[in-house]
Structure formats: C-alpha cells, structure tokens
Structure 1
Amino acid sequence: MRTWGGDQVTEAVAGSVELLRTVTDKDWTGVKASRLDWTCRQTAEHMAGDLIAYAGQLAGRAQTAYVPFELGFEEGTGQEGVLDVIETTGALLTATVRTTPPRVRAFHPYPFRSANREGFAAMGVAEVLLHTHDIAEGLGLEYEPPAELCASVLARIFPHVRPGPEPWPTLLWATGRGDLPGRAPVTEWRWANNLVLPTERLTLEGVTPASAADLVAGGDGGFVWLGDAPFEGTREVAAGLLQAYDGGVHRPEFGAFVLVRREDGRAVGSLAFHGMPDEEGRTEVAYDLVEPARGHGYATEALTALAERTLARDDVHLLYAAVEAANTPSQAVLTRAGFVRAEVAEEPFLEDETLRLYTRRG
C-alpha cells in the first residue's frame, strides 16, 4: 500500500494557502466563516492550531491526553502572517507523519482514544479542507479540493459514512456543511479513527475502508505480513468490509482486524465479524492466520480478547462461528477461546452439513 499522509497534508495546505492569499486584503475579523460562530480570522488561526496540535501529539507519542500547549500569534500579525503559520504548521505535521513508524499511536479522544500517523494526517487534511471551505464561503470565494483527497479522508476517518457519487459534497454533508439528495441533514458528527485492541503478544488493528480497498486490489493493506502476503481469507474479509462501507452499514466495532505481532510489527492474520448483531444480539466471527504463524496460539489469543470486549456490550449476547467438520485445529481454537459446540437444534440455519457451529454467550 502506498504510504499515505505527508504528501496529502502538503497538498491540502498548499491548495488552501494559494486560495486564501488572493483575499488577504479583505476583512477577516468582521466576517463569519460560513455557518461557524468564529470569524474567518479565528477559523484560520484554529486551522493552524490543529495542525501543530496533531504534530505535537504524534511527535510526543502522547498516550493519555493532549499535550498541554497552544499556538499563539504575535500581536499585529496580519492575514499574510497567519497563512505563513498555516504553511509552517502544515510542514511540521507533514514531517512528523513521514518520520513516525506506521504502528505508533498517540492520544486522540474520538472515538477510540488513539490514532496512528494516517489518522492524524487524515484529521489534519480534513481540518484544512473543511475550514478553508468555511473561510472561502464567508469571503465569497469558490473552493473545491481534489476529489481523490476528499475520498481518501472519507475512507480513513469516516468509515461509517456511505460514499456518495462525489466525495467533496459527501464530506461537506457528513460534517453538517451541505445537503445530499436522499439523505437527512447532519446536525452532529464525529470522525472515527480505527479501533485498536492490544493483547499480550498482538495488537488487533481495525481495518479502514482505505486499507480494505488495497487488500482487495492485491496490496498489503499497509501491513508488513509474515510470509510476505496475507492469507486469501483476509482479502475476502476486506471485500466484505468494502461492501458494507459502500452500503453505509459498516461500523468499525464490527468490522475486520489485522493481527499484528508486537515483537516485530508483522501481521500474522485477521479476525472479522460478518456484520452487525441481529435483533437478538447475535453476530458471527471468523479468523485466519498465515501459515508461518500457525501453531503459536495467536488465533486463540486474538479471538479471546475480541470476544470478551464484544460480549461486554449491551447489544451483543452471543458470538458464533461456523467451522468445517474436518478442521479440528480451528475447532480447538474456538474451544480454547471459550466457545462451545452448539446443540444440533441450534444449527438449522447451516445449510452445509459439513459445517459445525460453535457459540460463546455473554
């Protein structure tokens, strides 16, 4: 998967500054930035503050809270100076993203308390695109960023948003800044960095739609795989995730996870849900490992951790897995992870008689 982040921050900032430099002679302090309560000047300063804050979080590896500092402007700084600061803080975030290892995460509150370098880059790009829009609208300018940049942001930090025919209007709608035919107006929103669940030897990293698309296309999904490539089941899971994303029904908590070995950062397999819980609180899980990783208990460790987390939710009462009758190693994984062989009466929905059902209740 092509490294994503630094170049995109640079692109977003360059496009913003190029546009806003055309109106530095206008009054930014007496004009509201579109629908915001801030003025155009305050919004521009906020943009710069976000860029340096994200760089600070990632560079400092903050784990429990925001690093306690704020960006300040010297008295008398004009519009040109504000744009200089936006360029500088954008360059700092770009450099930080490019030099941070892919598995590093730092604190961000929404929604799972952390983000990786792609997440911070995507949030930075979103801040620039959206607030440039706000300022431009307040000052009567036309602004439309590149569609690929908008689609990349949506696929990384808006996994719950069904893609629209055009990425930019979809991003504006998803953040309460516009309307889309057939969709209700958005009044409250949050972006969503991928979920990560640590275990003793592994990190379960939530797969974003962007990563899933790369896996489906034959890429590595942004992971370094033990044995150089994922098991084919991981690509099939990624295809299912993309289908859910395209349908607007993907939710990160019930998506797919890549199992990353903590000792060396290599991916050894995947674990996934086959959809949201049904009305009775039941959902199916599946897993696979690359061949060199089998026989070390990784699947058991990952499945146990995910099952405990999932069954602690109020909306999940039962997890189940369908396994081939001849696949005794997989059945042993399920048993070690607390699943039990279902009664024959509980298996009527399994059309294939060669499958066996295992369940674990909350």
Structure 2
Amino acid sequence: MGGDQVEAAVAGCTAALRTALDRDWEAVRAHGLEWSCRTTAFHIAEDFAAYASRLAGLAQDRLPLRITLPEGTDNAGLLQVIEATGALLAAALRTTPPGARAFHPAPFRSADREGFAAMGVAETVLHTHDIARGLGIAYEPPADLVESVLTRLFPHVRPGPSPWPTLLWATGRGELPGRAPVTDWTWYNNLVIPAERLTLTGIRPAAADDLRLGGTGGFDWLEDGPYEGTREACSHLMKAYEAGLHRPEFGVFALVRAEDGRAVGGIGFHGAPEEERRVEIGYDLVRSARGHGYATEALRALTAWALDRDDVDTVITVIERDNEASRRVVERAGFVRATVEEERAAQDGPGTDGGLLLYVRRA
C-alpha cells in the first residue's frame, strides 16, 4: 500500500465533492462531527501535509508545522489544496526507504510507509463520507481500497460482510447486524520492537495473508526464507483475525536485520495472555541465518517486552526434547526448565507431550 492508493482516494474524494462546489460548505456541518464541511475538507489536507513532512524528515515527534488557507479561498481552491498535499504524501511514500518509521501517536508512537499510506486513505475516505452525508451527495470508495485500510489499521476488527460498512461501523459511523455500536475506537499501526542487530516487525493481517499463501508478505527474505514455521504462524494469525480474536501486539513478528533490511526469521505469541497472566512464544529462523545468535537476541527482546507489561507475569516456550540447538537458545535467553509440578499443572497444554520440554521465564 502506497502512493497509488492515496492518489486513488484523493481522486474519489475530489470527484464527489466537485458535484457540490456551489454549496456553502462552511454553513453545513459534516455528518457526525462538530466541524463544518469546509473545516473537515481542510483537515484532510492538514493530515496529508503532516504525514508527508513526518515521513520525509523521519520525524520522531510532532513537527511544529501548520498550513493555512488564504482568506477568500473558494471550494475549488480547497480541492486543489487537497490534491496538492495528497501528491506530496504520495511522493513521500514512494521515496521513503522500506522499514523506515516516523512519528504517529496511535498506538505505538510510530508508523512505517504502509501505515502512513493507510492512514492517509482512511482520513480521506472517512471524512469524504462525513462531508458527503452533510451535503447530501453520494459517495462510496472502492471496496479494495477500504479493505486495504482494514487489514492494515484495524487488525482487531473481525471482517464484516463487505469492507465499507465494516469500516464505517469500526469508526462509529454506522451499524452492522449482530454487533454492538462502536462509541470509542482507535486504529493500530504495527508494533516494532528493537533488538541489537534486529528489528522485530509486527506482521499485519494483509502481510500474514500473503505469507500463508506462499508470498513474501512484503519483506525482503534471505534466499531460503521464509521458513515454514513463519507461514504456519501467519495462518494462525489469519484465523484469529477472521474470528475477531486477533490482538495485534500479541501476534507474529518478522525478524528484520538492521544492517541490510533482510528478513531472517519469525517470532511471535501463540495468543494473548491467559487468566494465569502467561503467554507462549515460538520462533524460527531461515536455515542460512542460523548459528549467529539471532534467535537468542529476538527471544530476549520479545520476552522482555512481554514481561514489562502489567498483564504478563510468565513467558513459556516449548522445545522438542532432541532439539539441542533450541534448548541452548532458550537457556541463553534466560529461560529455565519447568518443574515437574509446573508441567503437571500444564497437563492440558504443551507440557503433556513426552517429546516436548517446557521452559519458563518469569518477571
């Protein structure tokens, strides 16, 4: 997702709003908002300018930047501003290096270029909807454009019968049969966790779907990657997403090497914390990346992140009894063998198989 999608969203927005150029946009309130239609339209341009400048400068905090409209700017001029700032965002998306991130507060204080593209599209289609409803004109964006927003910014939302009503419901703008109204919402950019030589990059549903079907998920893998375990983990992620059970911060991460941006493996949780405040971690590496300490580094980073949370007290991992290499990895990462009592207590879980060993690390 990138500049092409932003340009498509802008084209749809301006085509719809040009049908009402003769209306007084300042006198009409945008549907569901306190803003006028004119203020809402200008807000789209403000977001484009903010996103483009953050990406271009790889800003790590809010920029002291503000754009204004000259007095007397008419509706046609305002649409030109939307087109121009949209073009700036599209250009920034096309020139930002893969993996680079810039500031955005929701919810992990940064976003990559796909995240900024998705946010730019979301702001455009949602606020065009608000303006169109206020003015009483027709508007509906293409389904594939909306679906790309849902699978990148709303990984916690169970897919609905069609993308547009689902996005409207997820942002408190509509209803879906069988689902309670949404009164408070946020979107989720993917989480990244830095390690020494690696970045643990959260895999979005859009990327997970591609990986489970044999693709790359948009990552630049080493020649023999990704390993089958990563594809299987992405399949489980998609099942959780399709059931509305996916917690994006407890999903699957690609291990991306800082030195060259190549993906060398995957790591992730088997689910969100249980009532016992426990999570399980699994990992794998492509064969050519093994023996360099990457698995240990990644396991340490993800375990530390989990144990730093208020809802996790214990992290477990399960190793095949004859897998000496993995046993050394988890031991170097600070895990210890579970006691007989602990394995017995986990009799409904991984400790029941005599060929598996349960390892534990606590806060």
* Shorter-normalised TM range: over 0.9
SS at match of 1:115: coil
Q: Percent identity?
A: 63
Residue 357 of structure 1 aligns to which amino acid in structure 2?
L
CA displacement at 1:228 relative to structure 2: 4.7
Match of 1:16 among 3, 13, 34: 13
Tell me whether 1:260 sits opposite 2:261 in the alignment: no
Give the structure 1 partner of residue 357 of structure 2.
356
CA displacement at 1:337 relative to structure 2: 0.6
> Taking structure 2 as the reference length, what is the TM-score of the superposition?
0.97
CA distance in 2, matches of 1:166, 1:27: 33
CA distance in 2, matches of 1:66, 1:282: 36
Match of 1:85 among 81, 86, 103: 81
Q: Which moved more, 1:350-359 or 1:184-193?
A: 350-359
CA distance in 1, matches of 2:213, 2:263: 18
Match of 1:57 among 39, 54, 57: 54
CA distance in 2, matches of 1:317, 1:61: 35
Residue 15 of structure 1 aligns to which amino acid in structure 2?
G
Give the structure 1 partner of residue 30 of structure 2.
33
Give the structure 2 partner of residue 231 of structure 1.
227
Contact 2:257 2:264 in 1 (8 A): yes
**Equivalent residue runs for 1:141-290 within 5 Å:** 141-290=137-286
Tell me whether 1:340 sits opposite 2:336 in the alignment: yes
SS at match of 1:241: helix
CA distance in 1, matches of 2:46, 2:170: 23
Aligned residues: 358
Tell me whether 1:111 sits opposite 2:107 in the alignment: yes
Give the structure 1 partner of residue 291 of structure 2.
295
**Which stretches of structure 1, 4 residues or more, deviate above 4 A after TM superposition?**
none
1:270-326 deviations in Å (ceiling 9; x for gaps): 101001111111111100000111011111011111111101111111111111101
CA distance in 1, matches of 2:3, 2:186: 23
CA distance in 1, matches of 2:245, 2:299: 23
Structure 2: stretches of 5+ with no match in the other structure: none
SS at match of 1:106: coil
1:135-167 deviations in Å (ceiling 9; x for gaps): 000000121111111111010011111111111
Contact 2:29 2:36 in 1 (8 A): yes
Residue 19 of structure 1 aligns to which amino acid in structure 2?
A
SS at match of 1:267: strand
Q: Which moved more, 1:222-231 or 1:46-55?
A: 222-231
Residue 67 of structure 1 aligns to which amino acid in structure 2?
L
How much is the aligned-residue C-alpha RMSD, in angstroms?
0.9
CA distance in 1, matches of 2:45, 2:249: 32
CA distance in 2, matches of 1:172, 1:11: 19
Match of 2:323 among 315, 320, 327: 327
> Taking structure 1 as the reference length, what is the TM-score of the superposition?
0.97
SS at match of 1:72: coil
Give the structure 1 partner of residue 44 of structure 2.
47
CA distance in 2, matches of 1:225, 1:122: 24
1:11-42 deviations in Å (ceiling 9; x for gaps): 10001101101110011010000010000000
CA distance in 1, matches of 2:96, 2:211: 23
Residue 173 of structure 1 aligns to which amino acid in structure 2?
W
CA displacement at 1:102 relative to structure 2: 1.2
Structure 1: stretches of 5+ with no match in the other structure: none
